[in-house]
Amino acid sequence: MIPFTLTHETALITGASRGIGQGIALALGQAGATVIGTATTTEGADKITQYLKEHSLTGEGRVLDIASFDSVNTLMTSLEKQMPTILVNNAAITRDNLLLRLSQEDWDAVINANLTGVYRLTKACLRAMTKARHGRIITITSVVGVTGNAGQANYAATKAGVIAFSKSLAKEVGSRGITVNTVAPGYIETDMTKKFSEEQRAALLKQIPVNRAGTAQDIAAAVLFLASPTASYITGETLHINGGMFMP
């Protein structure tokens, strides 16, 4: 049983059509929040609306391209009468390659979506939170943001960047009743990781003391905690949810 309620909260969750984003949307919705989940396509937004309805939760899906200022502006204008009090920056992209083969286009695309996109949407939500003197900003980073990973220099750079971004912002807005934190998943079972070979899975599991992959629900539980009133004295922190794969 959840020892608190998010009944009067509105949660904006990017990349909520599947995987970790969907798990977060369901967890916050079940705690009572009104959920605005985003996807890059109308089909994805409709999927969000449908699964919220199937679970008898309040909210809907919206279309958002976090790499586009115009798309962010359009979304926030439409939410003017229901501004988010909880923001979960979850959406991200990958364009993996060794640095010597990494194109400028793929570098720029990942930086623009994963790092500049977080800046763009966070700033758009911040004014209303500041005025209300209340808010929760939670960004999904990654274990590779603190360990690095060959072939992911662009992705790892963005995931490290959002940690530093969040620590800096936490210092700026803490006095306004706004907390800013990150959650760093390790090896999580998603549609993407299900494509790994058995050899890749076995190699990853050898690095995890609890001997299993994480689930979207494991990440959602951490986000739910940070979004809750019980976490009001926690800011500028990174929760590492990785089964012991990395211990800072």
Q: What is the pLDDT of residues 166-204, one digit of tens each?
A: 999 999 999 999 999 999 999 998 876 777 788 888 888
Q: What is the pLDDT confidence band of residue 2, given thresholds at 50, 70 and 90?
A: low
Identify the pLDDT of residue 16: 98
- The answer to which of 91-105, 159-173, 197-211 has the lowest mean pLDDT is 197-211
Kindly state the percentage of the chain with pLDDT values over 70.
99
Q: What is the pLDDT confidence band of residue 64, given thresholds at 50, 70 and 90?
A: very high
Q: What is the pLDDT confidence band of residue 71, given thresholds at 50, 70 and 90?
A: very high
Identify the pLDDT of residue 248: 86
Neighbours of 206 (CB within 10 A): 8
pTM score, whole prediction: 0.95
Identify the pLDDT of residue 192: 67
Give which of 241, 222, 220, 239 is closest to 24, Cα–Cα: 220
Q: Which of 51, 119, 155, 233 is catalytic?
A: 155
Phi-psi group of 83: left, alpha or beta (phi > 0 → left; psi -120 to 50 → alpha; rest → beta): beta
- The answer to which of 21-35, 73-87, 157-171, 184-198 has the lowest mean pLDDT is 184-198
Give the burial class of 13: count Cβ atoms within 10 A of its Cβ; 0-12 exposed, 13-18 middle, 19 or more buried. Answer: buried
CA dist 49 and 59 (Å) reads 7
Q: Which residues are CB-neighbours of 2 under 8 A, at least 6 positions away?
A: 30, 31, 224
What structural domains does the chain harbor?
10-240 (3.40.50.720)
Within 150-230, strands assigned E span 178-185
Known catalytic membership, residue 51: no
